[in-house]
Amino acid sequence: MSTTHDDAPLAAQVRHLEALLEERGWLAPGEIDERLDAFAAGGSPANGAAVVARAWVDPYFRARLLADGNAAIGELGFSMGGALQEQKLIVVANDADEHHVVVCTLCSCYPIALLGPSPSWYKSEAYRSRVVRDPRGVLRELGLELPASTRITVWDASAESRYLVLPRRPEGTDDLTEQELAALVTRKGLIGTAAV
């Protein structure tokens, strides 16, 4: 972990706490790093794309996904289990009248298990502050021009809850297989900063 001058005292406190937990036998040496590495290694935008493709071809799975994201992704072998706790997955579906976009205004909370590591722009202060105030303008800058009649809803992720956007299924894709549909889904589409 790299530190800057400003966060060096905090990093030292974290290392001290980790050492105390190891001394007391509550953590094995290096256990926190191992858990974080394992969690990050399993995450990929392909996971989120597989979830979306299944929702596009299976209306019953879609209903379960929107009602309880954690349980539904578990059916596909995915989990929102973090290094220390499971985060709640909330899935929001785009439709003809409403488009959803995800942000974490405090830091960079993000469903790593389904999307892999977050893009640098997602963590930037500019995105985090501006997408709440001017979502249409930010989406336009990112290449997504929505009709003026489309309502845009911004969802703010937190340490306990993560969001995944279920994009609209592209027209003319009725003959595609689930795997072919998954190949159409992008990470930006799953955040809501692009259409699929």
Whether residue 103 is found in the same domain as residue 23: no
CA-to-CA distance for 65 and 89, rounded, in angstroms?
A: 9
Query: Does residue 196 lie within any of the structural domains?
Result: no
107 is catalytic: yes
CA-to-CA distance for 66 and 166, rounded, in angstroms?
A: 9
The count of domains in the chain is 2
Query: Does residue 64 lie within any of the structural domains?
Result: yes
pLDDT digits (tens, 9 = 90+) for 131-165: 999 999 999 999 999 999 999 999 999 988 999 99
CA-to-CA distance for 194 and 140, rounded, in angstroms?
A: 10
Whether residue 176 is found in the same domain as residue 100: yes
Catalytic residue among 108, 118, 158, 161: 108
79 is catalytic: no
Beta-bridged to residue 164, according to DSSP, are: 91
129 is catalytic: no
pLDDT digits (tens, 9 = 90+) for 38-82: 555 568 899 999 999 999 999 999 999 999 999 999 999 999 976
Catalytic residue among 2, 44, 79, 104: 104
Query: Does residue 109 lie within any of the structural domains?
Result: yes
Query: Does residue 67 lie within any of the structural domains?
Result: yes
Look up the pTM and report it.
0.79
Q: Under 8 Å CB-to-CB from 118, ≥6 apart: which residues?
A: 108, 110, 112
Whether residue 151 is found in the same domain as residue 67: yes
The residue among 51, 135, 137, 62 whose CA lies nearest residue 99 is 135
Which structural domain, as residue segments, surrounds residue 21?
Answer: 8-39
Give residue 17's pLDDT band: very low, low, confident or very high (50, 70, 90): confident
Whether residue 101 is found in the same domain as residue 29: no
CA-to-CA distance for 29 and 42, rounded, in angstroms?
A: 22
Whether residue 124 is found in the same domain as residue 84: yes
Whether residue 22 is found in the same domain as residue 68: no
Whether residue 159 is found in the same domain as residue 66: yes
Whether residue 144 is found in the same domain as residue 184: yes
